[in-house]
Amino acid sequence: MESGNQSLVMDFILLGFSVSSQIKIVLFVVFLTIYLVTLIANSLIITVVRGDSRLHSPMYFFICNLSFIDLCYASTNVPTCLQGLLSERNSITFVGCVSQMYIGLSLGITQFILLAVMAWDRYVAICNPLNYQLIINKSVCIGLIIATWAVGFLNAIVSVSFTMTTPFCGRNKINHVVCELAAALRLACVDTHLIEAVIFVVSFIVLVAPLSLIIFTYLHIISTILRMPTSTGRHKAFSTCGSHLTVVTLFYGTAIAMYMSPRSLISRENEKYISLIYGLVTPALNPLIYTLRNKEVKGSMKKLLTGTQHAEY
């Protein structure tokens, strides 16, 4: 750090969990196990969907992208957390911290929007099945994914730029397990109310806009399902939407608790655990939710694991 510029920080120290060394070892084993499950399960989903031509539909195309986001998100944050559990001084460069914060936030925003896109896909499939292939064609799917990723990575620039251009006056100890935006902003040595307000507005839009679309589509989906003449049709439709709704509940629940709740209601230590649920547990659960509730994916996965011949890509 240079004495001529008190706001220049060359690296950050992540304080991690305030627990004993023995508990850190236990946490390391638990988190590493969940991380490996995340990598294996999501990679398996991508491999199965790409390898079975029967799964080459818009719904599974979006599930594939969701698994890819989960892989990237977990790999962005979890290794830093694991390193912090084993080392006495878990430091990260300024550039590394900015990169981790930006990529993590971008992927989170991208997933919010992707979940809304997946809800719209289910809406068209159930409420307008005759025109489904016309509306949700290959070009539309690719366009939606490109737009989703673009919005996610462009939107994150605002919050990260506001945070990391704030003077820290030499403060470099982040009370968190990773470079998390709100935790880094607490190091600022100037009034941050305006910055916090801007970040809150951005977070509100990013969370509420996709969530509103999801709620709107599911109101129509439920109404359509209840009007179906057969119980078999209703059960199949509800089963198709159940996995998506479960993922939405997990992802939005932890995200709202992390970004939208008043800081006075959540302790610094609990904030770390909520962050881990959001960034570690949810990516591990997503593929399990989709495979356990989906007969087609389970069938294709069984063929892949047992070496049974299946359709070529």
**What one-character-per-residue DSSP string does 218-254 give?**
HHHHHHHHHT-S-HHHHHHHHHHHHHHHHHHHHHHHH
Please answer whether residues 290 and 38 qualify as being in contact, where contact means their C-beta atoms are separated by less than 8 angstroms: no
Predicted local confidence at residue 311, as pLDDT: 41
Q: How far apart are CA 249 and CA 302, in angstroms?
A: 28
Cα dihedral value 131, 234, 283, 39, nearest 10 = -80
Predicted local confidence at residue 87, as pLDDT: 83
Helix (H) or strand (E) holding 112: helix 94-127
66 falls within a domain: yes
Predicted local confidence at residue 190, as pLDDT: 86
Predicted local confidence at residue 6, as pLDDT: 43
Predicted local confidence at residue 28, as pLDDT: 93
Residues of the chain whose pLDDT is less than 50?
Answer: 1-6, 309-313
Q: How far apart are CA 261 and CA 96, in angstroms?
A: 27
199 falls within a domain: yes
Helix (H) or strand (E) holding 13: strand 11-14
4 falls within a domain: no
248 falls within a domain: yes
Predicted local confidence at residue 75, as pLDDT: 93
> What residues make up the domain containing 261?
11-306
Q: Helix, strand or coil for residue 166? A: coil
Predicted local confidence at residue 310, as pLDDT: 45
CATH number at residue 101: 1.20.1070.10
